[in-house]
Every structure is written in C-alpha cells, then in structure tokens.
Amino acid sequence: MGRVTIRLDDLPLRDDLRGLTPYGAPQAPLPVALNVNENTHPVPREVADDILDAIGRALGEINRYPDREFRELREGFAEYLRHGLVADQIWAANGSNEVLQHVLQAFGGPGRRAFGFAPTYSMYPLLTRATGAEWVSGSRGTDYTVDVESAVDQITAADPDIVFLCAPNNPTGTPMSLELIEAAYEATRGIVIVDEAYFEFAPRTAPSALSLLPGRERLLISRTMSKAFAFAGARVGYLAADPAVIDALRLVRLPYHLSSLTQAAALAALTHAPVMLQMVDDIVAQRDRISATVEALGYRAYESWTNFVLFSGVEDPGRTWQQLYDRGILVRDVGIPRSLRVSAGTAEETTAFLEALASIDSRA
C-alpha cells in the first residue's frame, strides 16, 4: 500500500510540465532557520489572543459556507493600504501565490506570455507554466538593478501579456523606482503586476506603486501578510487594482476560496496593524547589521529593502551552505553563482549566523 509502481514520466502528464520540479526550500529542524524569508518574530501575545477569540466566534458558524466575497476583509485591507482605496478595488486569497495564480488564470494561459527580470521570484515562471502560458526571462545589471531604458527595450521586445515587477526584488532585495514602473506600464499592452510582498521593510519615505493606480486600469499591486505581519502560516495575500480587474479574478477563483477561519484571523490581525508592524523596525536593524558584518568579513552585501540579504563572494555556495547547516544555521542557496541569501532573524539568530559565517573560510 502506497508503494510507487511507476515513474512520473509514465503518467499522462501535460507535455509542458514534463521535466519541471516543484517549488521548495529545504526544511530541517535546525535551531536557526533563516532560509525562507519568514518573520522570525512571533505574533505578540495580545494580538494572538484576539485572533483566537475571532476564530472561536467563526467556529460558531463553521457549518455554513464563508462570505464568498469576504467583504469585511476587503474593507480592512483597503483601510490598511489607504491611497483612497475602497473594498471594490481589493482582492485576497490563500497567500500571494494564489493571488498571482488568479491573475495568470484570468490574463495568461495557453498562447500567452509572461515576463520578468531575472533573477526574480522563482514562483513566477512556475505559476506561469502551470497555467499553460510561456515564461520569458529578462535580465538585470550586475548589481541586479534595472534601468528604465533597458526595461522598456526588453518589455517591448518580449511583447508580454503580463509583466511581473518584484519591488523590492526577491531574491536580491533590490528596490525599483516608480519611474521604471510607469515606463514598464507604458511599454506594454498587457497587465503589469507589481509584487510588493516586502514593501513594509523599505524605507519609510519610499513611495508605494499604489500611488500609480489612478488612471491605470492594467496596473495591479500585490501584497502579503506573511512577512511584515508574521502571518506566513495563515496564508493570506491580497491585491489592489481597478474594480474591473477584481471582477476578472472572480471568474477564475474557486467558490468560497477563503475560509471563515482565515478571514477571521486576518481581520483580527489587521485591527492590530500598528502593533504587528512594530517588529519591522527590529528586523530592518538586524538586516542592516547582517549587511555591515558580512561586508566586514570580506563578502559583498547587495542593497536590500526587504527582510533578507543576498551576499556574494562565496567561493563554493554549496559547501558553505553545508558548513552553516552543520553549525545549526539554515540559509538559502538561490542558485546565483557565488552567492547565498539569509533572512534577518531575531538578534540572537542573527548573532548565531554571523558567528557561524565568521568561523568559515568561504570567501572567493
């Protein structure tokens, strides 16, 4: 029972899925896990108590389907995002990956093309191909920035139906200017989705692409509660766009896709947004501490507006990853030559990582 009798290739799998590998990062019960850009700070006790109360109330009607339109939650996100947004401009799903999947299901698919500047979030091509669309990779400069002229040229040449702009970028941490986002929008006839999953970790004065929404009906801005809100296990992502875009996403979502418990937990967390976001300042401080210290150790830390740091100058990333692993530290080898990525943890976790790295002679 449960024994594998055939290989994956023996199944009648779609041809465009053959040879692909699922998304995944190593999972291991190590003392310090800094590999998947989680918020390593737990939800504050007083917030957790309110979330538990909200879930308890939702359980009283768990025999009924949830609000299919999750209206109250959309109002909560609109209030949190500000910029004059209203509930009709908000969408949400089980993590921002499902939000992006809805976008691809509605505006991508067979015969269509999605584009992004590599290296970028590895789920973009996976989601694109899973919906039957073609993925086209653009390129970045040696410091992982993209200049406006190059962006326009690349987008024009690719002629995509969907453009993904990760701002700030994962896995490099690189910021992206509003000027580039505007230029990218003008350069394409298709959907432009700005992924602001890490926006709360950017400088307080940094403008959000939300300010560009008025008059741009093909512009979409996605966010997540996983990072700044320490809600990775709850799986809640959301998006702001023109109401017509929200109507398009309704065409492809599954019925009642956001459970009553998810809606209740997210709403309770949103009411405590100031408390939840207090931990961001500490994470940013640890991120900057990592950048300064790895530079002092002889590596190059790339500018980051996120909760992680990409650093290069690693002679053998695989070997260094293993050496850190053997010391109880889990970081991420994202496949960029001579580079590793590390999430900013608590002060104690950051210290453990930096001390472990200092004990390893891994510089190129």
- Residues 217-255 have pLDDT tens digits of 999 999 999 999 999 999 999 999 999 999 999 999 999
Residue 362, phi then psi, degrees to nearest 5: -125, 10
* End residue of a domain, out of 220, 239, 272: 272
* End residue of a domain, out of 217, 240, 272: 272
Domain holding 34: CATH number? Answer: 3.90.1150.10
Domain holding 125: CATH number? Answer: 3.40.640.10
Query: Does residue 133 belong to any structural domain of this protein?
Result: yes
Question: Looking at the 3D structure of the chain, how many domains does it have?
Answer: 2
Both 70 and 91 in one domain: the answer is yes
Q: pLDDT tens, 31-88?
A: 999 999 999 999 999 999 999 999 999 999 999 999 999 999 999 999 999 999 999 9
Residue 1 has pLDDT above 60, yes or no: no
- pLDDT level of residue 364 (50, 70, 90 thresholds): low
> What is the model's pLDDT at position 262?
98
Both 190 and 311 in one domain: the answer is no
- Determine what percent of the chain is predicted with pLDDT higher than 70: 99
User: Do residues 231 and 10 touch, judged by C-beta distance below 8 A?
Assistant: no
Query: Does residue 256 belong to any structural domain of this protein?
Result: yes
Query: Does residue 1 belong to any structural domain of this protein?
Result: no
* End residue of a domain, out of 272, 300, 321: 272
Both 192 and 243 in one domain: the answer is yes
- What angle (nearest 5°) sits at the alpha carbon of residue 33, between those of residues 309 and 296? 35
Average pLDDT over residues 19-27: 77
Here the tokens at position 246 are 């929200």
Average pLDDT over residues 188-195: 98
- Determine what percent of the chain is predicted with pLDDT higher than 90: 89
> What is the model's pLDDT at position 20?
78
Both 201 and 117 in one domain: the answer is yes
Strands 113-118 and 134-139, sheet pairing:
parallel
Both 108 and 160 in one domain: the answer is yes
- This prediction's pTM: 0.94
Strands 32-33 and 329-330, sheet pairing:
parallel
Both 249 and 328 in one domain: the answer is no
Strands 162-166 and 134-139, sheet pairing:
unpaired
Query: Does residue 2 belong to any structural domain of this protein?
Result: no
Q: Which residue is it, tokens 């692409």?
A: 209
Both 209 and 344 in one domain: the answer is no
Both 345 and 247 in one domain: the answer is no
- Length of the chain equals 364
> What is the model's pLDDT at position 203?
96
Domain boundaries, position 163:
45-272
> What is the model's pLDDT at position 8?
83
Per DSSP, 6 falls in state S
Q: Which residue is it, tokens 């100031």?
A: 274
Both 231 and 295 in one domain: the answer is no
> What is the model's pLDDT at position 272?
95
**3-state DSSP assignment of residue 348:** helix
